[in-house]
Amino acid sequence: MCIRIQLSRATVKDLHSCLQSAYQRDDVRLVRRTTVLIDLLVHQMPVAVVCERWGLSPACLYAWQKAFLVHGVDSLVYCHGGGRPAKLTPKQKQRLVELIEAGPLVVGCETACWTSVLIRVLIWREFGVLYNCQYVCTLLHNLGFSFQKARFVSDHLDAAKRLAWLQDKWPAIVRAAKRCKGLLLFEDEASFAQWGSLSYTWARRGRQPEVPTSGKRKGYKVFGAIEYFSGRLFFQGIEGRFNSESYQAFLQRIIAQTTERLFLIHDGARYHTSASTQAFLAAHRDRITEHPLPSYSPDYHPIEYLWKKTKKRATHNQYFKEFAVLTVSVDKALTYFATHPDTVLGLFGLYCEESGLELQQAA
């Protein structure tokens, strides 16, 4: 005979509260035990399924279930199992997290980035606890931190304009492009150096991999534009400098290849805002509507992801003895993206996720 146990709403709520509390205390054993009981008693999962999922024996599951039915949430507790007690209390750890997230400058350090040595000093100064430097890394990992490369952010950013772009201007541009079935183009430029680019690769420990380089400072300049709705890619490579004339020639090329109205989004580069380019855009106002991005906002430009992927395919850890070999490699990579619009469309998902723009806003 199979007996089904039905918990009251209050009991289910208590179980979820215990689970949340266990997460906050970083009590892994109690998180597992509470989750198992929720699977068994709330979601009514079969014992065999729960055993396989968690690697536990049926006897263990029945013992936990019995203890909970007899003692309720009071059974969800573990006594200290021995070993050295933690030097920092849960409240002190929470305070440490707040200090780290505030940044070194806030707590009086003359740097913008944390090191394990600085955090060791911080813990000693704030809580009177002196950790081994190596254990500080383990502690930080357990608190949800990781060692990452920092990135520069311009101090010229206008937060109000950036917010207005995301919340007001960008959705309006999308709606206007949809109404007239136009092409919504993100345009940008990139330079690919003949000396190549470096990336991580596997190698024997202690033997840093080497990539030959010609050392020539010449670069292959590329104009690019990706279409928001279809993932269509337009590109044109040049050997000279980026200037108003070459930019207008690229736009003229797009006009010749399309019949739809073009909604052009680009940054504030000089050849985008020059008098010559503005005159060109005015002369083609029946085909092109210009929308400049907020200043110092490359993170709002999805084509940046395309340039990174192009370098990964075309120049990472590669040797270009001749300039022509570089141009062929870059053109080959860009041709791949031009013939795989679904891959380009995936870049807009990254754009919406990292820029803070909700996908449904653009729908």
pLDDT of 355: 53
pLDDT of 350: 61
pLDDT of 216: 80
Whether the model clears a pTM of 0.95, i.e. scores above it, the answer is no
- Rounded CA separation 22/33 (Å): 10
Contacts with 18 (C-beta within 8 Å, 6 or more apart), sequence order:
30, 34, 73, 76
Per DSSP, what are the bridge partners of residue 289?
263
How far, CA to CA in Å, does 30 sit from each of 40, 41, 60, 91, 93? 15, 16, 14, 19, 19
With 80 as the cut, is the pLDDT of residue 82 above it?
no
With 60 as the cut, is the pLDDT of residue 363 above it?
no
**238-264 burial by CB neighbour count: b if 16+ within 10 A, else e?**
beeebebebbbebbeebeeebeebbbb
10 Å CB burial of residue 77 (0-12, 13-18, 19+) is exposed
Sorting pLDDT into bands at 50, 70 and 90, what band is 362?
very low
With 50 as the cut, is the pLDDT of residue 360 above it?
no
With 60 as the cut, is the pLDDT of residue 356 above it?
no
What is the mean predicted confidence (pLDDT) over 15-37? Answer: 83
What is the mean predicted confidence (pLDDT) over 64-80? Answer: 80
Where is average pLDDT lowest: 1-10, 75-84, 120-129? 75-84
What is the mean predicted confidence (pLDDT) over 109-126? Answer: 87
pLDDT single digits (tens) 131-144: 988 889 889 988 88
What is the mean predicted confidence (pLDDT) over 124-131? Answer: 92
Q: What percent of the chain has pLDDT over 70?
A: 91
Sorting pLDDT into bands at 50, 70 and 90, what band is 352?
low
pLDDT single digits (tens) 160-202: 888 888 888 989 999 999 999 999 999 999 999 998 888 877 7
pLDDT of 153: 65
Where is average pLDDT lowest: 56-65, 93-102, 342-351? 342-351
**Mean pLDDT, the chain, whole residue set:** 86
10 Å CB burial of residue 338 (0-12, 13-18, 19+) is middle
pLDDT of 248: 97
- Rounded CA separation 288/260 (Å): 9
Give residue limits of the domains in the chain. 9-75, 90-142, 159-201+211-362
pLDDT of 361: 41
pLDDT single digits (tens) 35-68: 888 888 888 888 888 888 888 888 888 888 888 8
With 70 as the cut, is the pLDDT of residue 322 above it?
yes
Q: Looking at the domain covering 159-201+211-362, what would its CATH class be?
A: alpha beta
